[in-house]
Every structure is written in structure tokens, then in C-alpha cells.
Chains A and B, each alone.
Chain A
Amino acid sequence: MSYPFPTIIGLLSLFIYIASVSLQGLPDHGMQLYLPIGWDPVVMTDELAAAIRTMTTRASALSIVNSFHIVLLLIPLLIAFNFALSFGNGQIRTLVSYPIGRGKLLLVKSGLVFILIATTVTVGAITGLIFYYPFSIDVVVLGQLLIPLWITVFLMTTSCMFIAVLSRSAPITAVGGIGLWVGIYIMIPGQSIPPFLAYSLYPILAAINFVAPESPGPSPFSYLWTTSMTDVLYGCGIALALGILFLYFSIMVFRRLEV
């Protein structure tokens, strides 16, 4: 069943906005090319190539984390107004009267939100990077950042969907989702929560800290702990499992819901 999401113009606006936001901080942190003292610029050396790689890696990380900050607000709001609101306006009642199956209905709704957000932040971040660093984006680094980002988006989507199914209220879903995910995120800089919990809930942070652990001068990641690839993989695994659990329980509750 196709229901229109934001129009093409709205989507384009969103991409442009996220691409623009993803460029925040790039001049200060993503475009500093640090070369060793006494380096001979006439001769192409490995140090130059490494310096460019470091720059693009930090730029990629910065672009992704900027996009992620928008996602923290966007996912709860989208689920609140696309799904939770549909309980009150009769859309859910109409849809479950068709021979669709409630499980399938919820999967499709969740899937559409996930695909929309994941695509938007991915394309938005890459658009920003291409603008500054054409032909020099490291695909491996992007993969190391995007996959944890998608898993984080998946976990956020399914948890907000669970809140929506339980509450059937758009305001509660929006406030609950934002309060949960933004609230925990705010606690991370003060190190009030254990690192392992932070990486399990936000594997994207583990990935960013692994990919771009240091930078000279003020860094947007300075509050993060040192991580390894193992931390990233564990974080992704736990977040994925949690996301699947939320999805499962959402379907179970939705199946038994009186509409």
C-alpha cells in the first residue's frame, strides 16, 4: 500500500539541509592538512597521501556525526506523525480491515521510516563530502561509519515504534522518543553512563571514535573514549539484537491491540 510521504521537493530540501549541516565544522576540523616539518613539497611522498587520508577520514566522521544529530530528533517525530497519529485519524482501523496482516503492516511502516532516514543521512553526508572532497572519499572508512549509523537508526526506529504501539499517541511518542534518545546522548559527555552501554545504544559513536580517534586542536569527539574494532562490532551486534527485539515486541503488541 503506497501512502505519500513528503513530496519530492520536501525530500530534496531535507537532503540539502542535511548535506549543509554535515559540513559544519569542516573548515576547522576537516580541512586541516598537517604535514611533517621539513617536508619537501616538490616530491610526492607517502606522508602527503596519509595526510589527505586523515583529513578525509575526519571529514567523513564529522559529516556523519552532524547528520546523526538531526536523526535524534527526526526519527521520533516521523514515527509520531506518520504512525502514532494514524491511530486517531482512522488510518490504522482502515488498514487492519484489509487482508494485510498486522505484522506485515507494522514491518512495512517501520521499514519505510528506516529506509527514508537511512537514505537521507547517507546521501546527505556523502553529498557534503563530495562537494569538498571529490574523488578522494575512502570507501572503507565510509563503510565503517555508515553501517554502524544504519544500525543505530534501526535501533532508534524500532524503539520509537514500540513506544508508538504502546501509547498510540503522537505527543507521547515524540516526547518519549526524543527524551529517551537525546537524554541518553546528553549524558555521554559527562561519562555518566558506562562506555559499553553508550556504544551498544549508539554504535555510530564507537565507529566514529575508532575511525577518527585524535585530532589536533578542539575536537567534537573529545568526550569519547578510545575504542577498538571489537568495541564497534560488539556495539553493532548488541544494537542490532536490541532493535530486532523491539521490532518483535512491537509486532506482538500490535497484533493484540484493540483498534
Chain B
Amino acid sequence: MNSFVISINDITKSFGNVKALDGLSLDMEPGILGLIGPNGAGKTTLLRVLLGLIRVDSGSAKIFGSNTSSGSKDFLGRIGVLHENPYFPPLMTPHQYLTDVGFLYPQRIRTDEMLEKVGLSEAADRKIRNLSAGMKRRLGLAQALIGRPELVLLDEPTSNLDIVGRDQVLRLIAEIHQEEQVSFLITSHILSEMEKACHQIAVIVKGKIVEKGSVDELVEKHTQCRFRVMSSDSFKLEKILKAEDCITDVVVDGSKSVIIEVVPDCVENLESRLEALASDAGIKFYGYENTGTLEDMFRRLIGHE
């Protein structure tokens, strides 16, 4: 029995001359999967394919075993969606809107309960046009969850939110996953949040999945030769390091540090080498450390692609 929530097999989709999805394959197990990629990589196109909003040129995409382009809407009753720029009727209240949306699903959470879960109880009877951006995002999350879905697709759920709002949304996602065993597929540009919230990450570049795995696996795989070097003058140091054969990539990361990637053979003597180079250039060398964030991994992958 297929235990995958989402099963995508070699899909391609073009819009005119632009190939948005190019032989993309992806299997998603139950859990929280983050989908990251540069602008125009195909994240939103992939979500639209999964929802059956657009048809693929070839390949197949299934949710809970149902083909999303077959015209059957059986799977829509089992999923919730929050689009990047969702539309809410401005003159309705959150209570009215969620009640109406709830009636579309075979099973639903009580409206008052859902409003309390997302922290909108006090704004339940306010017109939607008078809600703040953060409140609208939470309302979007509520309408995605009110039908007791088994899978929720979130397209940039924390965009336009301040740091407090983003933390609230991420905490809510984690809680709901924990309590209700709901799976989430999240697309986002904010990699630090994806690192905290997601069990697995899939990286999409030019319409293809180039990497997939847990955050730790991916970071370890792609950043073992990546270091942050602290010095008194990062710009001067960058010029020197670019001339070194051992160093394959140099990126300035603020006035006092650069990120470098070295060939594996040079890692052993790296510290003495860096001290010598800095000294020759009249720069103070403060030290170095192995960098291992999702951002570093992403930069490396994108740079190579």
C-alpha cells in the first residue's frame, strides 16, 4: 500500500517557451515537508498542479492516490490550502467566512474552536477588510484547517508577517501536526524558519527537485567544506582568498567575516594557511568556524546549479 501522501512522477509543464516543471519527481511521506527554491524555480506551479488548477504536459501527480488532473475532486475534501495571496470576501466576518467554508467539507471543526486555535476569537465579528495582515494570514490558516484535512498546502504562509506573527504561525503548524497528525507542504523563502519547522526539505531548481532529505542530512552533506572566517577587513581578505587555488568560493558576509568553500584536501591545514594569508596582507585574523545552516546549503546548491 502506497504510504506516500503526495506522489509526483516525472511531471513537465511549460507555459509557452518557459519550462516551469522539467521532469519533476517527488514523494512525500506524512510529516512537514518544506519546498525551497529560488524565484521562478516552479514552487507555486507545483502547488497549482497538486490542486488540479493546471494540467501537466506529461507525468502524473497524486494526492492520497488520486490523480490530481483527472477531474475528480475526491482529494480536495481531504486537503486544505493557503495560497500566497488568498482572497477573502471583505465584507464578511471571520466567523461567517469560516462557517461557510466549513460547510463545504464532509467533516469540520467548530468555527468557534477554530477561531480560538488561531487566536482570532476577539476579531471573530470584525469585517475581514478591517483585519491586519497577520490576522488575515491566521484566518487563511484557519480556512485551510477547518475541514479537518489530512494534508495542508501552504504557499509562503509567513510572508508579510513580522517576527512575532511568523513565530505564531510556525508554532501553530507544529502544534496541529503534533495533535492532529496533519501533514504540511510548505513553500517559503525564509530558510531559517524552514530549518526550524520542517522535518524534511526538498530543493527545487529550474523545475526539478535537486535535493531532498532531512535538514541535518542536507546541511552536513553540502557544507562540510564551508567555513566562516572572521577578520578585521573582510573585503581585503576576500580579494586575497579568491586568488588561492584551495578555495573554490568566497562570499563576503558582513564587514568582519567571509564565507569560504575549500577543497576537501585543504581542510586539514586551513587555520595556519589563513593566519599566514591574513598576516601577509596586514589583516587581523580572529578565527574560523564550520558553517552549517540551510541558507549556506541553499547558496551552495544554487551556485552550482
Contact = CB atoms under 8 A, between A and B. Distances in A.
A176 to B, nearest CB: 24
A93 B100 contact: no
B71 interface: yes
Interface string B53-67: 111000000000000
Nearest to A3: B89
Contacts of B16: none
Interface of chain A, helix or strand or loop or mixed?
loop
B77 interface: yes
Interface residues of B, number: 23
A99 B100 CA distance: 12
A100 interface: yes
B192 interface: no
B87 A93 contact: yes
Given A1-B104, A100-B104, A91 B76 contact: no
A93 B147 CA distance: 18
Contacts of B83: 90, 93-94, 97
Contacts of A3: 89, 92
Nearest to A101: B73
Contact of B85 (A90, A99, A255, A259): A90
A131 interface: no
Nearest to B144: A97
Contacts of B71: 255
A259 B89 CA distance: 19
Contacts, number: 50
Nearest to B99: A2
Interface in B95-149: 96, 100-101, 104-105, 147
B86 interface: yes
A93 B89 contact: no
B51 interface: yes
A258 B92 CA distance: 28
Contact of B105 (A89, A99, A259): A99
A91 B73 contact: no
Contacts of A2: 92, 96, 100
A135 interface: no
A251 to B, nearest CB: 12
Interface string A70-103: 0000000000000000100111011011111100
A36 interface: no
Interface in A2-40: 2-4
B91 interface: yes
Contacts of A258: 53-55
Given A93-B53, A255-B71, A258-B53, A99 B87 contact: no
A22 B48 CA distance: 49
B104 A99 contact: yes
A99 B54 contact: no
B63 to A, nearest CB: 12
A94 B86 contact: yes
Contacts of A259: 48, 53-54
Nearest to B80: A97
A90 B44 CA distance: 14
Interface string B248-271: 000000000000000000000000
- The 4 A-B residue pairs with the shortest CB-CB distance in the complex, in nearest-first order: A90-B87, A99-B76, A99-B77, A91-B87
Interface of A: 1-4, 86, 89-91, 93-94, 96-101, 255, 258-259
21 contacts: A4-B91, A86-B87, A89-B87, A90-B83, A90-B85, A90-B86, A93-B83, A96-B51, A96-B53, A97-B51, A97-B81, A97-B83, A98-B76, A99-B76, A99-B77, A99-B147, A100-B73, A101-B73, A258-B53, A258-B54, A259-B54
